[in-house]
Amino acid sequence: MSKAKQLIFLLVAGLVAGVLWHLFSSLSMQERGEIASVEEQEDAAGEQPVIVREVSFESGASTLVSVGTGQAQQSITLFPESAGQVRDVLFSAGQEVVQGDLLLALDKEDEELSVELAKLQLEDARQRLQRYESAAPSGAVSTSEVDQARNALSVAQIELAQAELAYTRRMLLAPFDGVIGIPQVDPGDRVTESTAIATLDDLSNLLVDFKIPEAYAYAIDKGQEVEAQTWALPGMDFTGTVTSLGSQIDEETRTLQVRARLPNEQGQLRTGMSFVMELPLSGELYPAVPAVAVQWDREAAYVWRVRDGQAERQTVEVVKRSEGWALLSAQLTGDDRVVVEGMQSLREGMPVEVRQRQNNTADLTNPETAGNQNDG
């Protein structure tokens, strides 16, 4: 490289270095001025500005979740009481029926004749007894004949009752209110006492059986409220009560069977549906603070508590977190206030100035919103 080029290079490098030094010197002076101003303000105030939140107390209750299967409050399969030919099917699938409604009729001509014959025999026996009782005082009829006539009347009454019973057994009646299923027979079919006709379910309430771990067996009581959801009806919640508890712990699964009743006024629930059952469990009270107030170091979790205008470090143990709040095991009272902003520069015993938030609607339980607010 020639001497002229070297000289030009040195001049350019010197010029650039001078510009950079000028900029650096100016920036440094500005920063020193800002730092000095901040230090002067801190020296004048002598206190670290913080925002605090009072300690509240919340229950450490948890929720026990289990899966169960629903069944109708009453559920049966209907069978005819006698064999014969189906005359009429008087219901349709899904129909709501009332106790005593006629559901199925078999052929009953023979039974009708038997009832009429029994009625005639009963009337004849009654008239004979009346004649004998009228003639007995004159001695025309002996006492034994009167007794025989009285017995004959009783036999005729029994025979009529039997004939009427056989007649009613040719008809299938609803034993209780409910919703009937799909008919399994048609008119003209031959049926016996073992032929299934349809199912009948009382769906006014649904019973849900589920199991809970052995450890919670004595935390559940009859009458306790339970929440239920089913995948068949997403977004809908149902509230019921525990109606019965099993008497034994299952040795293999170490669980206890529980049954709950869910009201079903709208008829939306059906037998066989699966449910997610949630049972709230009671728990002791714990100090509750916004989760952003809890700090960690190598030793333990802690919060900064403000007492007598000074910062105190209080070791805590987080018991539970829920929706931006932390339940703590700690020596805190309802009169204590914990720092939720401004704790980064705190030291034990440092004087603090409690300030109010500029935006009172900010959510201190949300770490994002809490961290982005300015001190007032």
Last-in-domain residue among 281, 312, 333: 281
In this model, does residue 372 exceed pLDDT 70? no
Tens of pLDDT along 319-369? 888 778 888 888 888 889 999 998 888 999 999 999 876 544 344 444 444
Indicate the SS3 state at residue 218.
helix
Pair 264, 299 in one domain: no
Structurally, how many domains does the chain consist of? 3
Which of residues 250, 281, 312 is at a domain's end? 281
Q: In terms of DSSP bridges, do strands 352-354 and 48-54 run parallel, antiparallel, or are they unpaired?
A: parallel
Q: Are residues 212 and 133 in the same domain?
A: no
pLDDT > 90: percent of the chain: 54
Closest CA to 279 of 204, 210, 205, 207: 210
Tally DSSP H helices, then E strands, for the chain. Answer: 4, 21
Q: For residue 365, what pLDDT is reported?
A: 44
Are residues 290 and 315 located together in one domain of the fold? yes
Better pLDDT: 13 or 336: 336
pLDDT tens-digit profile of 284-316? 678 899 999 999 988 889 999 999 999 999 999
Whether 310 is covered by a domain: the verdict is yes
Last residue of a domain, one of 241, 265, 281: 281
Q: Do 155 and 221 fall into the same domain?
A: no
Q: Say if 267 falls within a structural domain.
A: yes
Domain that holds residue 206: 65-72+202-281
pLDDT tens digits for 270-287? 889 999 999 887 666 788
User: C-alpha angle with apex 318: 314 to 323, nearest 5 degrees?
Assistant: 120
- How far is Cα of residue 279 from the mean position of the Cα atoms in its chain? 7
Q: Are 269 and 307 part of one and the same domain?
A: no
Predicted pLDDT at 107: 95
Residue 325 lies in a domain: yes
Tell me if 367 is assigned to some domain. Answer: yes
Q: What is the pLDDT of residues 248-258, one digit of tens each?
A: 998 888 999 99
**103 lies in a domain?**
no
Is residue 35 situated within a structural domain? no
Q: How far is CA 311 from CA 39, 53, 229, 340, 350, in A?
A: 20, 14, 47, 12, 5
- The residue length of the chain stands at 376
CA distances from 123 to 135, 141, 146 (A): 19, 20, 16
For 238-247, how does the pLDDT look when each residue is reduced to its tens digit (9 = 90+)?
A: 999 999 999 9
CATH number, domain at 264? 2.40.30.170
In a domain, 86, yes or no: no
Q: With CA atoms as reference, report the closest residue to 293 among 342, 356, 361.
A: 342
Task: Evaluate whether residue 183 is within a structural domain.
Answer: no
Residue 276 is predicted with a pLDDT of: 95
Report d(CA 228, CA 260) in Å as an integer.
10
Whose structure tokens read 């000074």? 310
